[in-house]
Amino acid sequence: MIYIVAILSVIFLGLAALVVSRMAAVVKNANGANDSEFSVTSNRINGVLFLVFFIVGLIGAVWSFMYARQFFLPEASSPHGRRTDFLFWLSMGIITFAFVVTNALLFIFAWKYQHKEGRRAAYYPENHKLELIWTVIPAVIMAVLVFTGWRAWRDIMAEAPENSQVFEIVGKQFNWIVRYPGVDNNKLGAYNYKLIDNANDTGIDYTDEASFDDFTSTTELHIPVNKPILLKIRARDVLHSVFIPHMRVKMDAVPGMPTRFAFTADKTTDEMRNITGNPNFGYEIACTEVCGRGHFSMRIRLIVEDEATWQAWCKEQKPLLSSTPELASRIPANLKAKAAKYLEGAAAPSDSTTASVQQGGVNVVSAATIR
Protein backbone atom coordinates (compact mmCIF):
# COMPACT_ATOMS: atom_id res chain seq x y z
CA MET A 1 0.00 0.00 0.00
CA ILE A 2 2.91 2.38 0.78
CA TYR A 3 4.34 1.74 -2.70
CA ILE A 4 0.98 2.52 -4.31
CA VAL A 5 0.74 5.80 -2.40
CA ALA A 6 4.29 6.68 -3.43
CA ILE A 7 3.57 5.95 -7.10
CA LEU A 8 0.37 7.99 -7.03
CA SER A 9 2.25 10.85 -5.37
CA VAL A 10 4.83 10.85 -8.17
CA ILE A 11 2.07 10.81 -10.80
CA PHE A 12 0.24 13.72 -9.19
CA LEU A 13 3.48 15.71 -8.87
CA GLY A 14 4.16 15.09 -12.54
CA LEU A 15 0.68 16.24 -13.46
CA ALA A 16 1.13 19.33 -11.29
CA ALA A 17 4.38 20.15 -13.09
CA LEU A 18 2.64 19.66 -16.43
CA VAL A 19 -0.15 22.03 -15.42
CA VAL A 20 2.40 24.67 -14.40
CA SER A 21 4.23 24.32 -17.71
CA ARG A 22 0.98 24.61 -19.63
CA MET A 23 0.07 27.75 -17.71
CA ALA A 24 3.44 29.18 -18.68
CA ALA A 25 2.68 28.34 -22.29
CA VAL A 26 -0.68 30.09 -22.02
CA VAL A 27 1.01 33.22 -20.70
CA LYS A 28 3.56 33.06 -23.50
CA ASN A 29 0.77 32.65 -26.05
CA ALA A 30 -1.04 35.65 -24.62
CA ASN A 31 2.11 37.68 -25.24
CA GLY A 32 2.03 37.01 -28.98
CA ALA A 33 3.02 33.39 -29.65
CA ASN A 34 1.53 31.51 -32.62
CA ASP A 35 -2.04 30.69 -31.59
CA SER A 36 -2.55 27.92 -34.12
CA GLU A 37 0.65 26.05 -33.20
CA PHE A 38 -0.14 26.34 -29.50
CA SER A 39 -3.71 25.10 -30.00
CA VAL A 40 -2.65 22.00 -31.96
CA THR A 41 0.03 21.07 -29.43
CA SER A 42 -2.25 21.68 -26.48
CA ASN A 43 -5.07 19.58 -27.93
CA ARG A 44 -2.70 16.75 -28.78
CA ILE A 45 -1.41 16.63 -25.21
CA ASN A 46 -4.91 16.79 -23.75
CA GLY A 47 -6.11 14.04 -26.07
CA VAL A 48 -3.25 11.75 -25.02
CA LEU A 49 -3.88 12.52 -21.35
CA PHE A 50 -7.54 11.56 -21.81
CA LEU A 51 -6.48 8.15 -23.14
CA VAL A 52 -3.88 7.66 -20.41
CA PHE A 53 -6.39 8.59 -17.71
CA PHE A 54 -8.96 6.13 -19.07
CA ILE A 55 -6.52 3.23 -19.42
CA VAL A 56 -4.87 3.78 -16.03
CA GLY A 57 -8.26 4.27 -14.36
CA LEU A 58 -9.60 1.07 -15.94
CA ILE A 59 -6.56 -0.92 -14.83
CA GLY A 60 -6.88 0.53 -11.33
CA ALA A 61 -10.56 -0.36 -11.13
CA VAL A 62 -9.91 -3.97 -12.23
CA TRP A 63 -7.01 -4.31 -9.81
CA SER A 64 -9.08 -2.87 -6.97
CA PHE A 65 -11.90 -5.34 -7.65
CA MET A 66 -9.58 -8.35 -7.87
CA TYR A 67 -7.79 -7.34 -4.66
CA ALA A 68 -11.04 -6.78 -2.76
CA ARG A 69 -12.44 -10.22 -3.67
CA GLN A 70 -10.66 -11.76 -0.70
CA PHE A 71 -12.89 -9.69 1.58
CA PHE A 72 -16.15 -10.67 -0.12
CA LEU A 73 -18.64 -12.82 1.75
CA PRO A 74 -18.69 -16.48 0.67
CA GLU A 75 -21.62 -17.89 -1.27
CA ALA A 76 -24.86 -17.24 0.60
CA SER A 77 -26.07 -19.96 2.97
CA SER A 78 -29.71 -19.57 1.95
CA PRO A 79 -31.56 -20.03 -1.36
CA HIS A 80 -33.00 -16.51 -1.32
CA GLY A 81 -29.52 -15.16 -0.57
CA ARG A 82 -28.06 -16.76 -3.68
CA ARG A 83 -30.94 -15.39 -5.72
CA THR A 84 -30.30 -11.92 -4.31
CA ASP A 85 -26.58 -12.20 -5.08
CA PHE A 86 -27.30 -13.26 -8.66
CA LEU A 87 -29.51 -10.21 -9.24
CA PHE A 88 -26.89 -7.96 -7.62
CA TRP A 89 -24.06 -9.18 -9.85
CA LEU A 90 -26.32 -9.14 -12.92
CA SER A 91 -27.11 -5.48 -12.27
CA MET A 92 -23.46 -4.70 -11.57
CA GLY A 93 -22.38 -6.45 -14.78
CA ILE A 94 -24.84 -4.51 -16.94
CA ILE A 95 -24.00 -1.19 -15.28
CA THR A 96 -20.24 -1.81 -15.51
CA PHE A 97 -20.49 -2.74 -19.20
CA ALA A 98 -22.46 0.44 -19.96
CA PHE A 99 -20.04 2.52 -17.90
CA VAL A 100 -16.95 1.18 -19.67
CA VAL A 101 -18.45 1.53 -23.17
CA THR A 102 -19.74 5.08 -22.70
CA ASN A 103 -16.56 6.31 -21.04
CA ALA A 104 -14.38 4.59 -23.64
CA LEU A 105 -16.28 6.48 -26.35
CA LEU A 106 -16.00 9.71 -24.38
CA PHE A 107 -12.22 9.54 -23.93
CA ILE A 108 -11.43 8.04 -27.35
CA PHE A 109 -13.51 10.67 -29.13
CA ALA A 110 -11.72 13.41 -27.16
CA TRP A 111 -8.42 12.09 -28.54
CA LYS A 112 -9.51 11.14 -32.05
CA TYR A 113 -11.39 14.31 -32.83
CA GLN A 114 -8.98 16.80 -31.34
CA HIS A 115 -8.52 20.13 -33.10
CA LYS A 116 -6.54 20.02 -36.33
CA GLU A 117 -5.94 22.64 -38.95
CA GLY A 118 -8.45 22.42 -41.77
CA ARG A 119 -10.82 20.03 -39.97
CA ARG A 120 -14.40 21.17 -39.77
CA ALA A 121 -17.05 19.69 -37.49
CA ALA A 122 -19.94 17.93 -39.25
CA TYR A 123 -23.39 19.35 -38.67
CA TYR A 124 -25.46 16.40 -37.41
CA PRO A 125 -28.55 17.77 -35.63
CA GLU A 126 -30.68 14.62 -35.38
CA ASN A 127 -30.99 10.91 -36.08
CA HIS A 128 -34.36 9.49 -35.08
CA LYS A 129 -33.29 5.88 -35.57
CA LEU A 130 -30.25 6.30 -33.33
CA GLU A 131 -32.26 8.12 -30.68
CA LEU A 132 -34.87 5.35 -30.75
CA ILE A 133 -32.17 2.70 -30.27
CA TRP A 134 -30.45 4.36 -27.31
CA THR A 135 -33.82 5.08 -25.68
CA VAL A 136 -35.57 1.73 -26.16
CA ILE A 137 -32.64 -0.57 -25.29
CA PRO A 138 -31.90 1.03 -21.85
CA ALA A 139 -35.64 1.20 -21.14
CA VAL A 140 -36.10 -2.52 -21.86
CA ILE A 141 -33.06 -3.47 -19.78
CA MET A 142 -34.26 -1.30 -16.90
CA ALA A 143 -37.75 -2.80 -17.08
CA VAL A 144 -36.34 -6.34 -16.98
CA LEU A 145 -34.14 -5.52 -13.96
CA VAL A 146 -37.03 -3.87 -12.12
CA PHE A 147 -39.40 -6.76 -12.88
CA THR A 148 -36.95 -9.49 -11.81
CA GLY A 149 -36.11 -7.53 -8.67
CA TRP A 150 -39.79 -7.12 -7.85
CA ARG A 151 -40.43 -10.84 -8.32
CA ALA A 152 -37.53 -11.71 -6.03
CA TRP A 153 -38.75 -9.25 -3.38
CA ARG A 154 -42.30 -10.60 -3.67
CA ASP A 155 -41.13 -14.18 -3.17
CA ILE A 156 -38.75 -13.34 -0.32
CA MET A 157 -41.38 -11.34 1.58
CA ALA A 158 -44.23 -13.79 0.96
CA GLU A 159 -45.97 -15.49 3.86
CA ALA A 160 -43.78 -18.06 5.59
CA PRO A 161 -44.66 -21.75 5.02
CA GLU A 162 -46.97 -23.31 7.60
CA ASN A 163 -44.24 -25.70 8.75
CA SER A 164 -41.83 -22.84 9.55
CA GLN A 165 -39.94 -22.91 12.82
CA VAL A 166 -40.82 -19.64 14.57
CA PHE A 167 -38.50 -17.59 16.76
CA GLU A 168 -38.83 -14.12 18.20
CA ILE A 169 -35.92 -11.71 18.31
CA VAL A 170 -36.19 -8.50 20.32
CA GLY A 171 -33.74 -5.62 20.11
CA LYS A 172 -32.93 -3.31 22.99
CA GLN A 173 -30.02 -1.12 23.93
CA PHE A 174 -27.64 -2.88 23.63
CA ASN A 175 -28.31 -6.57 22.98
CA TRP A 176 -30.61 -9.00 21.24
CA ILE A 177 -33.02 -11.25 23.13
CA VAL A 178 -34.15 -14.42 21.39
CA ARG A 179 -37.32 -16.19 22.49
CA TYR A 180 -37.79 -19.84 21.64
CA PRO A 181 -41.21 -21.54 21.47
CA GLY A 182 -40.16 -24.27 23.91
CA VAL A 183 -40.21 -28.01 23.33
CA ASP A 184 -43.68 -29.05 24.48
CA ASN A 185 -46.00 -27.21 22.12
CA ASN A 186 -43.45 -25.56 19.78
CA LYS A 187 -45.59 -22.44 19.85
CA LEU A 188 -44.65 -18.93 20.91
CA GLY A 189 -46.87 -17.51 23.59
CA ALA A 190 -48.42 -14.05 23.52
CA TYR A 191 -46.60 -10.95 24.72
CA ASN A 192 -47.50 -7.51 25.99
CA TYR A 193 -45.02 -4.67 26.11
CA LYS A 194 -46.65 -3.43 29.32
CA LEU A 195 -45.42 -6.59 31.07
CA ILE A 196 -41.74 -5.85 30.43
CA ASP A 197 -39.62 -5.59 33.56
CA ASN A 198 -36.31 -6.93 34.91
CA ALA A 199 -37.69 -10.46 35.30
CA ASN A 200 -39.58 -10.51 32.00
CA ASP A 201 -37.48 -8.60 29.50
CA THR A 202 -39.56 -9.55 26.43
CA GLY A 203 -42.97 -9.00 28.04
CA ILE A 204 -44.17 -12.62 27.87
CA ASP A 205 -47.85 -12.84 28.75
CA TYR A 206 -48.44 -15.75 31.14
CA THR A 207 -52.20 -15.56 30.76
CA ASP A 208 -51.48 -17.53 27.57
CA GLU A 209 -50.56 -21.13 28.43
CA ALA A 210 -48.49 -21.40 25.22
CA SER A 211 -45.98 -19.15 27.02
CA PHE A 212 -45.25 -21.60 29.83
CA ASP A 213 -42.45 -23.49 28.05
CA ASP A 214 -40.93 -20.49 26.23
CA PHE A 215 -37.27 -19.78 27.02
CA THR A 216 -34.93 -16.96 26.07
CA SER A 217 -31.27 -16.37 25.27
CA THR A 218 -29.13 -13.27 24.89
CA THR A 219 -26.03 -15.03 23.54
CA GLU A 220 -27.06 -17.32 20.69
CA LEU A 221 -29.80 -18.50 18.37
CA HIS A 222 -29.91 -22.17 17.41
CA ILE A 223 -31.85 -23.07 14.26
CA PRO A 224 -32.29 -26.33 12.29
CA VAL A 225 -30.82 -26.64 8.81
CA ASN A 226 -33.00 -27.02 5.70
CA LYS A 227 -36.13 -25.98 7.53
CA PRO A 228 -38.05 -22.73 6.92
CA ILE A 229 -37.34 -20.21 9.68
CA LEU A 230 -39.62 -17.32 10.58
CA LEU A 231 -38.11 -14.52 12.65
CA LYS A 232 -40.66 -12.34 14.41
CA ILE A 233 -38.83 -9.08 15.02
CA ARG A 234 -39.55 -6.19 17.37
CA ALA A 235 -37.73 -3.52 19.36
CA ARG A 236 -38.13 -2.31 22.94
CA ASP A 237 -36.67 1.17 22.70
CA VAL A 238 -35.11 2.60 19.54
CA LEU A 239 -34.72 1.52 15.94
CA HIS A 240 -32.53 -1.58 15.49
CA SER A 241 -31.93 -3.81 12.45
CA VAL A 242 -31.49 -7.57 12.31
CA PHE A 243 -28.62 -8.47 10.00
CA ILE A 244 -27.41 -12.00 9.20
CA PRO A 245 -24.80 -11.35 6.49
CA HIS A 246 -24.11 -14.94 5.43
CA MET A 247 -27.84 -15.57 5.00
CA ARG A 248 -28.43 -12.20 3.27
CA VAL A 249 -31.06 -11.40 5.89
CA LYS A 250 -31.76 -7.82 6.93
CA MET A 251 -34.89 -6.36 8.49
CA ASP A 252 -35.46 -3.35 10.73
CA ALA A 253 -36.71 -3.82 14.29
CA VAL A 254 -39.10 -0.94 14.87
CA PRO A 255 -40.60 0.03 18.25
CA GLY A 256 -44.36 -0.44 18.14
CA MET A 257 -44.33 -2.07 14.69
CA PRO A 258 -43.47 -5.79 14.62
CA THR A 259 -41.72 -6.99 11.46
CA ARG A 260 -40.71 -10.42 10.20
CA PHE A 261 -38.34 -12.23 7.88
CA ALA A 262 -38.56 -15.82 6.62
CA PHE A 263 -35.58 -17.75 5.26
CA THR A 264 -34.08 -21.24 5.06
CA ALA A 265 -30.51 -21.93 6.09
CA ASP A 266 -29.10 -24.77 3.98
CA LYS A 267 -25.53 -24.90 5.28
CA THR A 268 -24.71 -25.82 8.87
CA THR A 269 -22.05 -24.03 10.85
CA ASP A 270 -19.77 -27.08 10.55
CA GLU A 271 -20.26 -27.19 6.77
CA MET A 272 -19.27 -23.54 6.50
CA ARG A 273 -16.15 -24.21 8.53
CA ASN A 274 -15.16 -26.84 5.96
CA ILE A 275 -16.06 -24.61 3.00
CA THR A 276 -14.15 -21.57 4.30
CA GLY A 277 -11.29 -23.58 5.78
CA ASN A 278 -11.74 -21.60 8.98
CA PRO A 279 -12.24 -23.81 12.06
CA ASN A 280 -13.37 -20.75 14.02
CA PHE A 281 -16.06 -19.69 11.55
CA GLY A 282 -19.38 -18.74 13.06
CA TYR A 283 -22.57 -17.15 11.79
CA GLU A 284 -23.64 -14.02 13.62
CA ILE A 285 -26.62 -11.75 13.99
CA ALA A 286 -25.60 -8.11 14.15
CA CYS A 287 -27.36 -4.76 14.29
CA THR A 288 -26.96 -2.49 11.27
CA GLU A 289 -28.78 0.51 12.67
CA VAL A 290 -26.73 2.92 14.78
CA CYS A 291 -28.72 2.72 18.00
CA GLY A 292 -26.46 4.42 20.54
CA ARG A 293 -23.03 4.23 22.14
CA GLY A 294 -23.23 0.48 22.70
CA HIS A 295 -24.28 -0.30 19.12
CA PHE A 296 -21.07 -2.23 18.49
CA SER A 297 -21.98 -4.82 21.14
CA MET A 298 -25.30 -5.82 19.55
CA ARG A 299 -24.34 -9.21 18.17
CA ILE A 300 -25.14 -12.78 19.02
CA ARG A 301 -24.05 -16.11 17.59
CA LEU A 302 -26.19 -18.03 15.14
CA ILE A 303 -25.72 -21.79 15.23
CA VAL A 304 -27.12 -23.80 12.33
CA GLU A 305 -27.27 -27.52 13.04
CA ASP A 306 -29.11 -30.64 11.98
CA GLU A 307 -32.64 -31.23 13.26
CA ALA A 308 -31.71 -33.93 15.79
CA THR A 309 -28.94 -31.85 17.35
CA TRP A 310 -31.20 -28.81 17.50
CA GLN A 311 -34.01 -30.77 19.17
CA ALA A 312 -31.59 -32.21 21.71
CA TRP A 313 -30.24 -28.74 22.54
CA CYS A 314 -33.75 -27.33 23.00
CA LYS A 315 -34.67 -30.12 25.43
CA GLU A 316 -31.72 -29.16 27.62
CA GLN A 317 -32.99 -25.60 28.07
CA LYS A 318 -35.12 -24.48 30.99
CA PRO A 319 -38.29 -22.44 30.41
CA LEU A 320 -38.12 -18.88 31.66
CA LEU A 321 -40.91 -19.79 34.08
CA SER A 322 -38.65 -22.39 35.73
CA SER A 323 -35.55 -20.20 35.93
CA THR A 324 -37.45 -17.10 37.09
CA PRO A 325 -39.95 -18.32 39.73
CA GLU A 326 -41.27 -14.84 40.54
CA LEU A 327 -43.12 -15.01 37.22
CA ALA A 328 -45.46 -17.60 38.78
CA SER A 329 -47.45 -14.80 40.38
CA ARG A 330 -48.52 -13.69 36.91
CA ILE A 331 -50.25 -16.94 36.03
CA PRO A 332 -54.08 -16.88 36.27
CA ALA A 333 -55.57 -19.13 38.94
CA ASN A 334 -57.32 -21.31 36.36
CA LEU A 335 -53.99 -22.09 34.61
CA LYS A 336 -51.78 -22.71 37.64
CA ALA A 337 -52.35 -26.46 37.45
CA LYS A 338 -51.09 -26.57 33.86
CA ALA A 339 -48.06 -24.49 34.79
CA ALA A 340 -47.20 -26.66 37.81
CA LYS A 341 -44.74 -28.92 35.97
CA TYR A 342 -42.70 -25.91 34.87
CA LEU A 343 -42.52 -24.62 38.44
CA GLU A 344 -41.38 -27.89 40.04
CA GLY A 345 -38.05 -27.41 41.76
CA ALA A 346 -38.11 -23.65 41.24
CA ALA A 347 -37.30 -21.51 44.25
CA ALA A 348 -40.13 -19.49 45.76
CA PRO A 349 -40.16 -15.85 44.66
CA SER A 350 -38.80 -13.36 47.15
CA ASP A 351 -40.94 -10.59 48.64
CA SER A 352 -38.77 -7.96 46.99
CA THR A 353 -39.53 -9.14 43.46
CA THR A 354 -42.65 -8.58 41.45
CA ALA A 355 -45.68 -7.37 43.35
CA SER A 356 -49.13 -8.40 42.18
CA VAL A 357 -52.73 -7.66 42.84
CA GLN A 358 -55.77 -9.88 42.60
CA GLN A 359 -58.35 -8.90 40.00
CA GLY A 360 -61.18 -11.29 39.25
CA GLY A 361 -59.16 -14.32 40.28
CA VAL A 362 -56.23 -13.41 38.01
CA ASN A 363 -52.83 -12.22 39.19
CA VAL A 364 -51.86 -9.04 37.34
CA VAL A 365 -48.49 -7.29 37.45
CA SER A 366 -48.73 -4.06 39.41
CA ALA A 367 -48.06 -0.80 37.66
CA ALA A 368 -44.97 -0.28 39.80
CA THR A 369 -43.19 -3.20 38.12
CA ILE A 370 -43.88 -2.18 34.54
CA ARG A 371 -41.05 -0.33 32.86
Which pLDDT tens digit goes with each residue over 72-120?
999 999 999 999 999 999 999 999 999 999 999 998 888 888 777 777 8
Mean pLDDT, range 216-222, rounded to an integer: 94
Report helix, strand or coil for 229: strand
Q: What are phi and psi of 87, to 5 degrees?
A: -65, -35
Least confident window among 2-11, 63-72, 338-347: 2-11
Inform me whether the pLDDT recorded for 291 exceeds 80: yes
Inform me whether the pLDDT recorded for 2 exceeds 70: no
Per-residue pLDDT band for 354 (boundaries 50, 70, 90) equals very low
Mean pLDDT, range 2-22, rounded to an integer: 68
**Highest mean predicted confidence (pLDDT) among 13-27, 57-71, 344-358:** 57-71
Pairing of strands 220-224, 299-305: parallel
Q: What is the predicted pLDDT for the residue at 12?
A: 66
CB contact at 8 A, 7 and 59: no
Q: What is the predicted pLDDT for the residue at 368?
A: 33
Q: What is the predicted pLDDT for the residue at 62?
A: 93
Per-residue pLDDT band for 349 (boundaries 50, 70, 90) equals very low
Q: What is the predicted pLDDT for the residue at 341?
A: 83
Mean pLDDT (the chain) is: 85
Peptide bond into 174 cis (omega under 30): yes
Q: What is the predicted pLDDT for the residue at 346?
A: 56
Please, what sign has the CA dihedral across residues 276, 281, 286, 288?
negative
Per-residue pLDDT band for 3 (boundaries 50, 70, 90) equals low
Inform me whether the pLDDT recorded for 129 exceeds 70: yes
- 257-292 b/e with 16+ CB inside 10 Å = b? eeeebbbbbbbbbbebeeeeeeeebebebbbebebe
**Highest mean predicted confidence (pLDDT) among 20-34, 186-200, 220-234:** 220-234
Q: Pick the residue with more confidence: 13 or 86?
A: 86
Q: What is the predicted pLDDT for the residue at 8?
A: 65
Inform me whether the pLDDT recorded for 251 exceeds 60: yes
Paired with 261 in beta bridges are 231
Inform me whether the pLDDT recorded for 332 exceeds 60: yes
Per-residue pLDDT band for 148 (boundaries 50, 70, 90) equals very high
Q: What is the pTM of this model?
A: 0.77
Please name which of 175, 198, 200, 176 lies closest in space to residue 189, comparing C-alpha atoms. Answer: 200
**For residue range 307-325, what is the model confidence (pLDDT) as tens digits?**
999 999 998 998 888 888 8
